Structure 1
Amino acid sequence: MELLAAGVPPRTRRRTLAAVAAAVAVLVALGAGVLVDVDPQIRLDGAVSRALYAGDDRSGAQDAALEVLTSPGTVWFRVLAYLPVLLWLGLGRRWRTLTWVLVAVVLVSPLTTGLKELVGRARPAFEGGGLEYGSLSFPSGHSSGVATLVTVALVLAWPRLAPLGRRAATAAGIALVALVGTTRLWLGVHFLSDVLGGWALGIAWALGIALLLGGLPGGPAALTPREGRS
């Protein structure tokens, strides 16, 4: 662990550990709330779902638009988005970097599925939403997927970006994560806790893998900064 963290500023390591711990705490608290039916959480989930659900009678055009907006949370979108990056890393023989990115992007899906089975929450009972799905609800796979996609992208690109680029990329990433999470509520296929839990899982997983495999800026699996940037 020390070898993999070599070169990573101590402040970065501490902040990353704190972020991972906070995200895991949120995930555990929400999952426990679902398992033991914490009344305020369950009532809030139901109220938000009913308020945001787009309805059983939405048009085909509305459905199509929502499916497009929610697609960044899917496995196939992550694979297509990162395929050029993985090819570039492979051609450049950046094997350590390729490894942590691939592990983070691919394995978040089976991890999410395992947690779904552990918690065993049914989806919202909307005829045009959750009742059309045979899978479970907590945490949201789309939400964990898009949070992983964005977090990995930010960690990977951070050394190469100027301060303005970092702020712009972070803002765009947050907007994308929020959009995909909201579409799951509009479609009526997840509760608020599912979305928040998915975000927490994706962030904790991506940052944890980057920390573990040396992908944080300054680590042996990180991209080298462009000249004049740190």
Structure 2
Amino acid sequence: MHTARSGRPAAVVVVSILLLGLVALLGRAVAVQAGPLLRLDRAVSSALYAGDDRSGLHEAVLQVATAPGSSAVRAVVVLPVLVVLARRRAWRTAGWVLTATALVGPLTTAVKELVGRARPQFADGGARLDSLSFPSGHASGIATLVTVGLLLAWPRLSRAGRRGALAAGVALALLVGCTRMWLGVHFLSDVVGGWALGVAWTLLVALAFRALPGRLSA
């Protein structure tokens, strides 16, 4: 047990470095306009974009489906969690949750500025957003939220519960990522980069606060 616990931080660091390496690789490829990546992004974007003539209901459904990745929804979900942690005087865990969820947005914005990628453009549609595209803030936001939720719940779940929670979390992250492309506001690499950034950031902050829950490998 001691060996498993002592090896856990090293494994988390390795996973985080690999994910951050993926973000850096994708960001560099976007910045230098690497042909294979741009072609893949354009192909996937064209295939998934929901079109220019979406009905009001269609648009509303997409906006609801993409909302879990927003900072507003993240705050609504995290606030009661912080209250519970504060009542239990779990200050270290609360600090991790607050730091991870509150600062993933500014971190994503900083990476956007470094890469400087414009949003996808469509002939007569797509959301007209002035912000930059890589990585997706909704993707990094939902990846952070899901990772926080899984780490907090993991020690308290049965083996079957863990499988169900992991599947639900992955499905939610996939849904948010896909809606960004259905709405025409992100490329595939934006979404993948956002997912990787959100997970890596959350894990590293948990390590910094020494807040990784026990029995992660049980």
Normalising by structure 2, what TM-score?
0.94
Q: Check conservation: 1:156, 1:215, Cα contact below 8 A.
A: no
Partner residue of 2:148 out of 148, 152, 161: 152
Partner residue of 1:42 out of 38, 43, 46: 38
Report the 3-state secondary structure (helix = DSSP H, G, I; strand = E; otherwise coil) of the residue aligned with 1:46. Answer: helix
Q: How much does 1:7 deviate?
A: 9.8
Normalising by structure 1, what TM-score?
0.89
CA distance in 2, matches of 1:11, 1:165: 24
Does residue 1:10 correspond to 2:10, yes or no? no
- 1:80-100 C-alpha deviation (Å, 9 max, x unpaired): 111111111111111111101
- 1:92-128 C-alpha deviation (Å, 9 max, x unpaired): 1111111011000110000001111111100001242
Q: Check conservation: 1:113, 1:141, Cα contact below 8 A.
A: yes
Residue in structure 1 matched with residue 198 of structure 2 by the alignment = 202
CA distance in 2, matches of 1:110, 1:95: 23
Residue in structure 2 matched with residue 221 of structure 1 by the alignment = none
Does residue 1:116 correspond to 2:107, yes or no? no
Q: Check conservation: 1:155, 1:215, Cα contact below 8 A.
A: no
Alignment-mate amino acid for residue 141 of structure 2: G
Residue in structure 2 matched with residue 73 of structure 1 by the alignment = 69
Structure 2 unmatched ranges of 5 or more: none
Question: Over aligned residue pairs, what C-alpha RMSD do you find?
Answer: 1.7
Alignment-mate amino acid for residue 48 of structure 2: L
Structure 1 unmatched ranges of 5 or more: 1-5, 219-224
Using the TM superposition, name which of 81-90 and 59-68 deviates more: 81-90
Report the 3-state secondary structure (helix = DSSP H, G, I; strand = E; otherwise coil) of the residue aligned with 2:120. Answer: coil
Corresponding pairs, count = 215
- 1:55-99 C-alpha deviation (Å, 9 max, x unpaired): 111111100000000000000111111111111111111111110
User: Percent of aligned pairs with the same residue?
Assistant: 56
**Cα separation, partners in 2 of 1:7 and 1:84, compared to 1, 3 Å:** farther
Q: How much does 1:8 deviate?
A: 7.5
CA distance in 1, matches of 2:169, 2:140: 13
CA distance in 2, matches of 1:61, 1:11: 50
Alignment-mate amino acid for residue 105 of structure 1: T
Alignment of 1:24-43 (within 5 A): 24-43=20-39
Report the 3-state secondary structure (helix = DSSP H, G, I; strand = E; otherwise coil) of the residue aligned with 1:121. Answer: coil
Alignment of 1:67-146 (within 5 A): 67-126=63-122, 127-130=124-127, 132-146=128-142
Residue in structure 2 matched with residue 175 of structure 1 by the alignment = 171
Alignment-mate amino acid for residue 192 of structure 1: L
Q: How much does 1:166 deviate?
A: 1.1
Q: Which has the higher helix share?
A: 2
Residue in structure 1 matched with residue 16 of structure 2 by the alignment = 20
Report the 3-state secondary structure (helix = DSSP H, G, I; strand = E; otherwise coil) of the residue aligned with 2:65. Answer: helix
